[in-house]
Amino acid sequence: MNKVTVSYGQTWLDIALQELGDMERAIELALLNGRAITDDLQAGEALMVPDFDSGKRSIIQLFRNAANRPASGDTFIAAEPGSIGEGIEFWALENDFVVS
């Protein structure tokens, strides 16, 4: 059994891939930590991680480097209410942004 610290934007699936080499073990990971798979993770949070399958070692080694850590969570930062946002995350096709 090991511990891992959650990075910004990581989900249960990301941690399962990074530490276990298998996203299918995300539910096992959540249950081990007394949580539900639908619970959001917070950066800096420590999680218990079970042992990994030695057959997945190459996948795990790929994600051990901090630069390669998966982080597929919602990292969107909402604009202030009532403000007009700028940038592609605020534009709507055929309204503000025309594709030609």
74: domain range? 1-100
Question: What are the tens digits of pLDDT across the range 57-100?
Answer: 999 999 877 788 888 886 555 556 565 666 655 565 555 555 56
Write out pLDDT tens, residues 23-67. Answer: 999 999 999 999 999 999 999 999 999 998 889 999 999 987 778
pTM exceeds 0.85 for this model: no
CA max distance for the chain: 54
Domain count, the chain: 1
Size of the chain in residues: 100
Instruction: Say how far apart CA 39 and CA 41 lie, in whole Å.
Output: 7
